[in-house]
Structure 1
């Protein structure tokens, strides 16, 4: 029975990850569409951008102890979210954002993340 439960838990973990990835990609796509100075040029840059955002957020949480949520952690979370949105362009071709676009994008991302059900990746 232990093997069945372990396999089931891993399946749930993978499904949870995929759902978070899809929700994060949707939030990122809407953010890019609504934010001046922020563009993503296709499906794969969007998916890679969502993955990189999640990875950079994970690193921030592990090393800084701060979650990059624009509204959940006040000004520190907001600034960190803007920095992560900006830095992502250096890892993903087809993803570009200006510094002002990253700041506006962090605000838009936070608003959309609060509206869309499910926990986003950032």
Structure 2
């Protein structure tokens, strides 16, 4: 990655509007809801828990990417991204009331989210 790529990536993260953040939370909510529906050991109690979990997942993803440089995309970033996505899902259970997921549910959920990410064009991962 050269300096132009780094500057472009930094400008992209610095120019994040409120509309983009809301859209990202909405898309993450939809993806997490679909993953919870199809994944055994993964459930969400209500709409409030779903929205809060999407915000927390976004924040955790941002923090991991900011401090480690690993993007939590289950398929796009290989095994490291897959494991980080599973860990983010599992850690969210301790922060969000009504968000229930087992260790296997987090692993399967990361796989389901990876499949959904592959299907949804233009979607930036969890």
Q: Which TM bucket (shorter chain)?
A: 0.7 to 0.9
Alignment gaps of 5+ in structure 1 = 1-9
How many residues are matched? 112
- The CA distance in 2 between the partners of 1:111 and 1:104, in whole Å, is 11
C-alpha RMSD over aligned residues: 1.5
- The CA distance in 2 between the partners of 1:57 and 1:108, in whole Å, is 17
Q: Which residue of 2 aligns with 1:21?
A: 25
Runs of 4 or more, structure 1, over 6 Å off, are: none
**From 108, 111, 116, the counterpart of 2:112:** 108
For the pair shown, the structure with the greater C-alpha radius of gyration is 1
User: Residue by residue, what CA displacement relative to the aligned partner does 1:48-71 show, whole Å, maximum 9, x if unpaired?
Assistant: 000000000011001111000001
- TM-score of the superposition, structure 2-length normalised? 0.84
- The CA distance in 1 between the partners of 2:96 and 2:87, in whole Å, is 15
- The CA distance in 1 between the partners of 2:78 and 2:54, in whole Å, is 22
Alignment gaps of 5+ in structure 2 = 1-14
Q: Which residue of 2 aligns with 1:43?
A: 47
Any conservation in 2 of the 1:70–1:110 contact (CA below 8 Å)? Answer: yes
Any conservation in 2 of the 1:20–1:121 contact (CA below 8 Å)? Answer: no
- The CA distance in 2 between the partners of 1:21 and 1:120, in whole Å, is 11
- The CA distance in 2 between the partners of 1:89 and 1:14, in whole Å, is 26
- TM-score of the superposition, structure 1-length normalised? 0.86
The higher relative CO (CA closer than 8 Å, separation ≥ 6) is in 1
1:93 maps to 2:104 = no
- The CA distance in 1 between the partners of 2:124 and 2:32, in whole Å, is 10
